[in-house]
């Protein structure tokens, strides 16, 4: 039998709270599996032992707050490896920054047992739809209607001042969610028009926000708003659509995050465009707005 070669991805995760997001993303793109090990930095262990002695070693490793986890994953496909690394950078942050963790990729000469045969599950039938003809449309991949749906994205960098974010959004009417990216175009956050307007008007009329404060939590939010200066300060977590997602998935993501539109990204999370809720709705009802105005879906095809 021919031996298969692959790669061992080793990630030391400092912020354990970010692990679920990474594992969910890896599962979605097809990473076969991962193993999580409790671990601690050698220097930290030396400091611990100098204080409490050798008997404290077991307590350190068994502690829930031991500080970090080590994630191991075997991958054969180089393209999947590149996507897995991109997911890790998105979920865990830039590994070059302090306290961000460590990522290693080690070539492996032989791989066995990476892929297992699974039992097929009988799909649960969907309930009857209110609009039966929408059932087919909701499962349509975005890529099939992308030319009719895609708009130019409003893309800004983390360090872009909020005033300049507004200028960028004004240049692309209809785009109500700005995509915040790194210098290489990789998505790191989103900033919707409603939040941007609140942050900007806060500086113009702070008294309107101050009079609504009734408890300490709202006071802390007031203080937070006063420190917002850039897109990176004001952005929320990254939310996106890929060309392989369906219309149903696109709507669900907008609905769950209460956003009027989302950036479209490629396999490495580089922003390639924007889709808004109204255009998505027009596609589901069979009328798509293209360059020649609104037309039936059949005409657009």
CATH number of the domain that 150 lies in? 3.10.580.10
Domain presence at residue 145: yes
Indicate whether 96 and 139 sit together in one domain: no
Q: Domain check: are 140 and 258 in the same one?
A: yes
Q: Are residues 152 and 92 in the same domain?
A: no
- 92's CB contacts (< 8 A; 6+ apart) are 11, 13, 15, 18, 22, 100, 101
Model pLDDT, residue 61 = 46
pTM over the 0.75 mark: no
Residue 282 lies in a domain: yes
* 70: three-class secondary structure by DSSP: strand
- Neighbour count for residue 11 (Cβ, 10 Å): 25
Q: Please tell me the predicted confidence (pLDDT) of residue 20.
A: 85
Does one domain contain both 104 and 146?
no
Q: Does residue 127 sit within a domain?
A: no
61, 181: one domain:
no
User: Reduced to 3 states, what is the DSSP secondary structure of residue 280?
Assistant: helix
Q: Are residues 136 and 107 in the same domain?
A: no
Do 278 and 136 fall into the same domain? Answer: yes
- Alpha carbon separation from 80 to 83, 93, 180, 262 (Å, rounded): 5, 19, 25, 24
Report phi then psi at 156, rounded to 5: -135, 165
Q: Which two tokens stand for residue 123?
A: 């799909």
List the domain range (segments joined by +) for residue 239. Answer: 132-300
Residue 126 falls within a domain, yes or no?
no
Residues 102 and 136 in one domain: no
Q: Does 148 lie in the same domain as 78?
A: no
Rounded CA-CA distance 278/274 in Å is 12
Number of domains in the chain: 2
Ordered alpha helix ranges (H), the chain: 19-29, 42-52, 56-62, 78-92, 132-138, 142-149, 162-170, 193-204, 206-210, 216-226, 231-234, 247-257, 277-284, 297-300
CA gap 240, 250 in Å, rounded: 8
- Is residue 169 a contact partner of residue 234, using CB atoms and an 8 Å limit? no
In this structure, what token pair is assigned to residue 124? Answer: 């649960």
Same domain, 67 and 141: no
141 and 103 together in one domain: no
- Which residue from 172, 171, 233 is spatially nearest to 199, judged by alpha carbons? 233
Q: Are residues 103 and 136 in the same domain?
A: no
pLDDT of the residue at 254:
94
* Residue 123 within a domain: no
> How do the pLDDT tens digits run along the chain, 301 residues long?
455 678 999 998 888 888 888 888 898 888 888 888 876 665 554 554 455 444 444 454 444 445 678 888 889 888 899 999 998 988 888 888 877 788 989 888 887 776 666 667 777 775 665 565 666 677 888 888 888 888 899 999 999 999 999 999 999 988 999 999 999 999 999 999 988 988 887 777 766 655 665 655 655 665 566 677 899 988 999 999 999 998 889 999 999 999 999 999 998 899 999 999 988 888 777 655 443 443 444 444 4
């Amino acid at each position: 039998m021919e031996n298969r070669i692959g790669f061992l991805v080793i990630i030391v995760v400092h912020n354990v709270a970010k692990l679920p997001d990474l594992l969910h993303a890896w599962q979605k793109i097809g990473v076969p599996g991962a193993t999580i090990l409790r671990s601690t930095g050698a220097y930290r262990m030396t400091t611990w032992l100098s204080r409490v002695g050798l008997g404290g070693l077991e307590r350190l490793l068994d502690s829930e707050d031991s500080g970090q986890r080590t994630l191991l994953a075997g991958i054969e496909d180089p393209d999947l490896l590149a996507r897995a690394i991109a997911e890790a950078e998105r979920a865990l942050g830039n590994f070059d920054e302090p306290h961000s963790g460590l990522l290693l990729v080690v070539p492996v000469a032989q791989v066995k047992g990476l892929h297992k045969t699974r039992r097929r599950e009988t799909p649960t039938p969907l309930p009857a739809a209110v609009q039966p003809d929408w059932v087919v449309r909701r499962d349509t991949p975005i890529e099939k209607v992308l030319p009719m749906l895609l708009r130019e994205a409003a893309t800004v960098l983390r360090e872009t001042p909020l005033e300049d974010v507004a200028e960028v959004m004004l240049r692309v009417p209809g785009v109500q969610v700005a995509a915040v990216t790194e210098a290489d175009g990789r998505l790191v956050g989103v900033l919707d028009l409603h939040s941007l307007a609140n942050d900007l008007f806060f500086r113009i009329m702070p008294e309107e926000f101050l009079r609504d404060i009734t408890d300490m939590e709202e006071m802390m939010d007031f203080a937070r708003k006063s420190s917002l200066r850039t897109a990176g300060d004001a952005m929320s977590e990254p939310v996106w659509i890929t060309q392989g997602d369906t219309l149903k998935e696109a709507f669900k993501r907008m609905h769950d995050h209460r956003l009027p539109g989302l950036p479209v990204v490629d396999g490495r999370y580089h922003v390639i465009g924007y889709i808004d809720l109204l255009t998505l709705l027009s596609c589901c009802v069979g009328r798509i707005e293209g360059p020649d105005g609104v037309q039936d879906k059949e005409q657009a095809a």
